[in-house]
């Protein structure tokens, strides 16, 4: 019987063809004599010539060839090639800096062009596609990306000194560290408080149907208020409390600063936390609970040993959603003096310095991806449906 050839992977093919077009059609770097003057964009063929630019398309076309007749082995080769391409991008930037930046002009800056940003995005989609095809755990992907992150860090320290983003960081390294710490504090405080309050509200709503309707109504209403409007609504009452309550004033509560940011983040975090906790606890099968009671378990034992463990994966999904949301919303809190990485974003927008904007935006993106990956993996790890059965354990 003739074996049918595997169908081409159209997703991977389209992504790699788009990468080849981006490499040739979009500028890969920009060069500016200083921070004030806008940079001049340069395409790859303007830096290394058409022969070098076309040679740079070969890895993308090789990925297309691997995707045209895909097999598990070819998918693994494509995964390794994608990782190597991610690690090669800083080498390209360093080479472009050596060719384009005059060493006698220390103020000259190299900017990352649209082609490199698009290639990073497309390679990220490639990793997602290959992870699904190979059924890899997220931890394996993170382990593959760890050397890539190390290469980028080494390149930024040795070879990319003229990169505009690196120069922005070096001029504000102390402020950057303080902003990261403050950002994490606000996120951790809001998520932690919403976890405690959300669990309490969900338990109370399960006991009182009237409280359920009122509670979700209020939380839905809070979610519709724009973040800047909520900050403004909190300004006057917090300023009054700071002026009239000595111990709040001693804690640093003001109309602006960390206090309104924390309360606003808490308000936005409660709805996903309460909803996921409520749905998780209510979604446990009544037959399972009845079996637990039939075994002689008390009400507390049923909750702690049966209902809560079965509901925990969905509850952690609520924590994941809340954390990712809070990481992004905390950036807006910089507008009211709460600090965090949003400070660099709004400073960069005010100065028309996009690299300063990226200095604040890229760590926020990295935090959100890490939080999403870790909490998502934890939720799947605790899901009873993902655990091996006794028979599988015996045969393994």
- In this structure, of 87-101, 194-208, 244-258, the range with the lowest mean pLDDT score is 244-258
Which pLDDT score is estimated for 197? Answer: 92
Which pLDDT score is estimated for 154? Answer: 79
Number of structural domains, the chain? Answer: 2
pLDDT above 90: residue 193: yes
pLDDT tier, 1 (very low <50, low <70, confident <90, very high otherwise): very low
- Is 359 a domain residue? yes
Query: Are residues 129 and 213 located together in one domain of the fold?
Result: no
CA 72/CA 90 separation, integer angstroms: 29
Query: Are residues 264 and 140 located together in one domain of the fold?
Result: no
- Is 394 a domain residue? no
Mean pLDDT of all residues in 311-334 = 91
**What single-letter DSSP state applies at residue 5?**
P
Q: Sheet harboring 40-42: ordered strands across?
A: 40-42, 29-32, 109-112
pLDDT tier, 3 (very low <50, low <70, confident <90, very high otherwise): low
Domain closes at, from 131, 164, 197: 164
- Is 215 a domain residue? yes
Query: Are residues 311 and 181 located together in one domain of the fold?
Result: yes
Query: Are residues 143 and 204 located together in one domain of the fold?
Result: no
Handedness of CA 277, 278, 280, 281 (dihedral sign): positive
- Is 336 a domain residue? yes
Looking at mean pLDDT, say which of 21-25, 128-132, 244-248 comes out highest.
21-25
Which pLDDT score is estimated for 390? Answer: 35
- Is 370 a domain residue? yes
Mean pLDDT of all residues in 58-68 = 90
Mark 367-391 as b/e (b = at least 16 C-beta within 10 Å): bbeebbeebebbbeebeeeeeeeee
Please give the torsion angle defined by the CA atoms of residues 146, 151, 157 and 158, in that order, rounded to the nearest 10 degrees: 160
CA 238 to chain centre: 32
Which pLDDT score is estimated for 186? Answer: 93
Query: Are residues 245 and 327 located together in one domain of the fold?
Result: yes
Which pLDDT score is estimated for 143? Answer: 79
Q: List all residues 6 or more positions away from 309 whose beta carbon is below 8 Å from its beta carbon.
A: 382, 384
Task: Please say whether the beta carbons of 45 and 88 come within 8 A.
Answer: no
Q: Give 269-281 as a DSSP string.
A: HHHHHHHHHHHHH
Mean pLDDT of all residues in 143-162 = 79
- Is 82 a domain residue? yes
Which pLDDT score is estimated for 394? Answer: 34
pLDDT digits (tens, 9 = 90+) for 354-394: 888 989 999 999 899 889 888 888 888 887 665 444 334 33
Domain closes at, from 134, 164, 194: 164
CA terminus-to-terminus distance, the chain: 33
Which pLDDT score is estimated for 326? Answer: 93
| Structural domain boundaries enclosing 97 | 10-164
CA 90/CA 148 separation, integer angstroms: 10
Task: Please say whether the beta carbons of 277 and 198 come within 8 A.
Answer: yes
3-state secondary structure of 257: coil
Query: Are residues 242 and 94 located together in one domain of the fold?
Result: no
- In this structure, of 58-67, 79-88, 350-359, 361-370, the range with the lowest mean pLDDT score is 350-359
Query: Are residues 197 and 280 located together in one domain of the fold?
Result: yes
Domain closes at, from 147, 164, 181: 164
- Chain-wide mean pLDDT for the chain? 85
- Is 1 a domain residue? no
CATH code of 183's domain: 1.10.3720.10
Query: Are residues 179 and 157 located together in one domain of the fold?
Result: no
Query: Are residues 325 and 180 located together in one domain of the fold?
Result: yes
pLDDT tier, 119 (very low <50, low <70, confident <90, very high otherwise): very high
- Is 42 a domain residue? yes
Task: Please tell me the pTM assigned to this model.
Answer: 0.82
Q: Which residue has the higher pLDDT, 1 or 265?
A: 265
Please give the torsion angle defined by the CA atoms of residues 252, 340, 347 and 86, in that order, rounded to the nearest 10 degrees: 180
**Cβ neighbours of 68 (radius 10 Å):** 16
Which pLDDT score is estimated for 370? Answer: 87
pLDDT tier, 2 (very low <50, low <70, confident <90, very high otherwise): low
Which residue from 34, 62, 56, 33 is spatially nearest to 43, judged by alpha carbons? 56
Which pLDDT score is estimated for 389? Answer: 41
Distances (CA, A) of 58 to 23, 92, 133, 328: 11, 15, 23, 38
Query: Are residues 186 and 147 located together in one domain of the fold?
Result: no
């Amino acid at each position: 019987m003739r074996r049918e050839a595997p169908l081409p992977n159209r997703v991977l093919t389209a992504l790699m063809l788009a990468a080849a077009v981006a490499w040739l059609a979009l500028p890969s770097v920009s060069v500016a004599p200083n921070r004030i003057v806008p940079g001049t964009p340069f395409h790859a063929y303007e830096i290394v010539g058409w022969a070098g630019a076309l040679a740079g398309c070969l890895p993308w076309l090789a990925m297309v060839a691997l995707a045209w007749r895909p097999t598990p082995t070819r998918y693994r080769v494509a995964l390794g090639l994608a990782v190597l391409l991610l690690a090669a991008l800083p080498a390209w930037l360093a080479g472009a800096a050596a060719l384009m930046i005059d060493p006698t002009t220390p103020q000259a800056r190299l900017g990352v062009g649209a082609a490199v940003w698009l290639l990073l995005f497309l390679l990220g989609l490639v990793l997602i596609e290959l992870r699904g095809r190979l059924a890899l755990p997220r931890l394996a992907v993170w382990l593959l990306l760890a050397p890539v992150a190390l290469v980028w860090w080494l390149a930024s320290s040795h070879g990319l000194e003229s990169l505009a983003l690196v120069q922005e960081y070096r001029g504000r390294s102390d402020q950057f560290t303080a902003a990261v710490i403050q950002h994490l504090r606000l996120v951790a405080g809001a998520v932690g408080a919403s976890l405690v309050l959300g669990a309490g509200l969900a338990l109370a709503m399960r006991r009182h149907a009237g409280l359920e309707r009122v509670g979700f109504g209020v939380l839905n209403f809070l979610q519709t208020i724009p973040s800047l409007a909520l900050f403004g609504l909190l300004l006057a009452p917090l300023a009054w409390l700071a002026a009239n309550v000595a111990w709040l004033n001693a804690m640093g509560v003001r109309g602006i600063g960390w206090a309104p940011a924390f309360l606003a983040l808490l308000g936005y975090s409660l709805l996903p936390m309460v909803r996921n906790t409520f749905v998780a606890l209510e979604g446990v099968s009544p037959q399972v609970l009845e079996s637990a009671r039939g075994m002689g378990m008390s009400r507390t034992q049923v909750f702690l040993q049966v209902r809560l463990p079965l509901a925990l994966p969905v509850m952690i999904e609520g924590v994941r959603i809340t954390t990712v949301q809070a990481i992004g919303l905390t950036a807006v809190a910089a507008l009211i003096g709460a600090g965090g990485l949003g400070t660099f974003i709004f400073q960069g927008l005010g100065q028309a310095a996009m690299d300063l904007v990226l200095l604040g935006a890229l760590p926020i993106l990295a935090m959100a991806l890490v939080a999403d990956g870790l909490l998502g993996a934890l939720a799947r790890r605790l899901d009873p449906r993902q655990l091996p059965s006794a028979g599988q354990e015996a045969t393994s």
